[in-house]
Amino acid sequence: MNAFVPKLMVIGCLSLFLLLVGFTAPVHGQRTPELQFEADPRLAAVAERLESIETSRLRSVMRLVGLDDPGPPIRVVLAVEGSREAQRVPSWVSGYAVGSIGLVVLLPSRSPSYPDRSLDSVLLHEVAHVLVARAAGRNDVARWFNEGVAMSAGRLGLGDRMRLVLASMRKGSPSLGSLDRAFPSGPQAATRAYALSGAVVRWMLDQYGDRAVADVLAGVRRGQSFPDALEAVTREPPDVFEARFWASLGSWRKLMPLVTSPTLQWALITALFLLAYAMRRRRDEARRAQWREEDEAERAIEAEPWRVETPPGGWVN
């Protein structure tokens, strides 16, 4: 009996260990979307570099949209200018996604423009669209929401905030529905729509929690319309949701006319010029003082050379 107890404890501990391994091992294998690259031979080096994208960034997008399983591999095509893939979109578009079939197309020859800062961010943005489609069960969601989620996969920097404020000051406060029509209207309208869409989604995450995006997509996946799913999460009608978002920009919009006024800009330029001038004068005065000390020391030596002390131990040649 006494010998049986230790054996039972060992078996129990081993079983617990295997159980924990069984629960944790698949998680790491399932939470990273698999990207399968196809590239024109001239873009092989670019594809090789993109293949090293940090998996943690992909997993963060999965958490944002609420996916536990990324689904089948995502096909990433790197196309050259003039190809059939490039001809399907305007010249200012550097990448696009077809979420329903898990396809991402990148056009490296087109310098990434806002909202993307590099080809890596274009890839992450477009992969996010595919994951949004999968999280929604391939049902429709508003374009502003889709783009806002893709932008939220990155970070909101100072440039994004400035674009947001400038965008919110032009043409008043558009409805979120009108943003959907702005994306294909041209680069300027699209830039404004990107900035506002990203801001709405980030504001929603701040107001309703980190699960807000995932819960909206889960509602759409269960068969709810997008407006109904959004209202179920926010617990307020869409028009109230929009009004609260625009109200949140009030302080920025009041401050922006002052920040962008020509008077303040010239005042700042003048202040910077005066500061630079003062620093330059101080540096020149210090240099002249050093030169005077050196000149005085040389004159003293020339006048009374016998006062120069011999170092201990004599001079060394």
Note the pLDDT of residue 17: 45
pLDDT value for 73:
94
Tell me the CATH architecture of domain 31-135: 3-Layer(aba) Sandwich (3.40)
Q: Write down the H helix ranges in 115-249.
A: 119-135, 143-152, 158-169, 176-182, 187-208, 212-221, 226-234, 238-248
Q: What is the pLDDT of residue 175?
A: 75
Which two three-digit tokens encode residue 315?
């001079």
How confident is the model at residue 186, as a pLDDT? 80
Q: Enumerate the domain spans of the chain.
A: 31-135, 139-253
Residue spans of the chain under pLDDT 70: 1-31, 113-117, 154-174, 250-268, 273, 297-298, 300-317
Tell me the pairing of strands 103-106 and 95-98: antiparallel
pLDDT at position 213 is: 96
At a CB cut-off of 8 Å and minimum separation 6, what does 258 contact?
264
Spatial separation of the C-alpha atoms in residues 215 and 243, rounded to whole Å: 21
Q: How far is CA 66 from CA 62, 164, 210, in A?
A: 6, 27, 10
Instruction: Write down the pLDDT at residue 29.
Output: 46
Q: Can you list the alpha helix ranges (DSSP code H) found in 31-103?
A: 44-50, 55-65, 84-87
The pLDDT of residue 215: 96
Alpha helices by DSSP H, 235-313: 238-248, 250-259, 262-303
Q: What is the DSSP letter of 99?
A: G
Query: Residues 26-35: pLDDT tens digits?
Result: 444 446 889 9
